[in-house]
């Protein structure tokens, strides 16, 4: 009787390990396939909010924005640019 219980415990443990392995393999494949579908770079503020991360803003003079935008895109940083209408010369980056 004890031998049967030990054998059943081993079988259940083996099946659980096999199921976990299959789930991890499927998850890995899904991540690799969807890697290119993740959007990086300039986005709308709404899309940035949907990512669930904390948003921080910085103010830049209007003249620096073009080179700054190139650097952000080059390094795959998620950002959104809005002109500060009250100050007209400053741009807020999220």
pLDDT tens, 11-25?
A: 999 999 999 999 999
The CA angle 25-8-19, to the nearest 5 degrees, is 10
What's the pTM value of the predicted model, to 2 decimals?
Answer: 0.48
Q: How far is residue 91 from each of residues 41, 50, 60, measured CA to CA in Å?
A: 17, 22, 5
What pLDDT does residue 87 have?
Answer: 64
pLDDT tens for the chain, residues 1 to 94: 778 888 898 999 999 999 999 999 998 888 777 766 667 777 777 877 777 778 877 777 666 677 878 888 888 778 887 776 766 555 555 5
Is the distance from CB of 66 to CB of 93 less than 8 angstroms? Answer: no
Any idea where the domains of the chain sit in the sequence?
1-38, 39-94
Q: What is the pLDDT of residue 63?
A: 67
């Amino acid at each position: 009787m004890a031998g049967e219980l030990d054998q059943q415990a081993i079988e259940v443990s083996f099946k659980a390990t096999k199921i976990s392995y299959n789930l991890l393999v499927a998850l890995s494949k899904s991540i690799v396939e969807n890697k290119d579908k993740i959007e990086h770079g300039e986005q709308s503020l709404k899309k940035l909010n949907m990512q669930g991360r904390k948003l921080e803003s910085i103010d830049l003079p209007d003249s620096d924005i073009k080179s700054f935008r190139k650097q952000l895109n080059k390094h795959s940083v998620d950002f959104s640019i809005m002109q500060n209408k009250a100050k007209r010369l400053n741009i807020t980056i999220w």
